[in-house]
Structure 1
Amino acid sequence: MGKRSRTASAAAQKAYTVEAEWTAADLAQLEELKKANASLPDDAPRALLSVRLSVLTEDTTSPVRQELDLRREALNRGCRVVGVASDLNVSATKVPPWKRKQLGEWLNNRAPEFDVLLFWKLDRFIRRLSDLNTMIDWALKYGKNLISKNDQIDLTTVVGKIMVTLIGGIAEIEATNTSTRVASLWDYAKTQGDWLVGKPTYGYVTGEDENGKVVLYVEDNAHKALHWCRRMARRGVSATRMVKVLKRSKLMGDKLTTSTLLSRLRNPGLKGYRVEVEMKGRARRSKLVLDQHGKPIRVAPGIFTEDEFDELQADLDKRSRKQPARQPGGATKFLGVLTCVDCATNMTVKRYENAYGPYSYMRCQKCKSGGHGIPNPEVVYTKVVMDVLSVLGDEPVQVREYARGAEARAQVAQLEESIAYYMKELEPGGRYTKTRFTREQAEQTLDKLIAELGEIDPETTEDRWVNVANGKTFRQRWEEGGTEAMSADLLRVGVRCEVTRTKVKGQRAPDVKLRLMIPKDYRERLIVKEDHFAGEL
Structure 2
Amino acid sequence: MSTPAPKRVLGILRLSRDGENSTSIERQREDIERWAEYRGHRIVGWVEDVNVSGSMAPWDRPSFSAWLPDTIGNLRASKAEQELAWNRSRAGEWDIMCAWKLDRFSRQVHHVTALERWCRDNGRMLATTDDGFDLTTESGRLLFNILAAFAEGELERIRARQRSSRRHLAKVGRYAGSTPPYGYRAEPAEDGEGFVLVPDETGVATAKIVRGMVRMILKEGKTANAVAEWLNKEGHPKAKDAQLMRKDKAPKGATWAGKDVSAILRSEVILGRSYHEVTRTNDEGETVKRTELVLAEDGVTPLQRAAALISEEDFTALQSKLDEKAVKRQANRLGRALLLGVVECECGRPWYRNPRTNPNHTAYRCSSYNKAGMGCGNSKSINANKLDALVTSRFLTAVGNAEIVRRVFVPGENHDKELTTIERRLTSLRKDRAAGLYDDDDEYAADVKPLLERRKELRSKPSTPDRWEEVPTGQTYAEKWATLTTDAERNAELITARVKVIVHREELPTVLPLVDLPEANADETEATMRAHFGRVAIVTPANMHRKVRAANG
TM > 0.5 fold call:
no
Larger relative contact order (CA 8 Å, sep ≥ 6): 1
Question: What TM-score, normalized to structure 2?
Answer: 0.30
User: TM-score, normalised on structure 1?
Assistant: 0.30
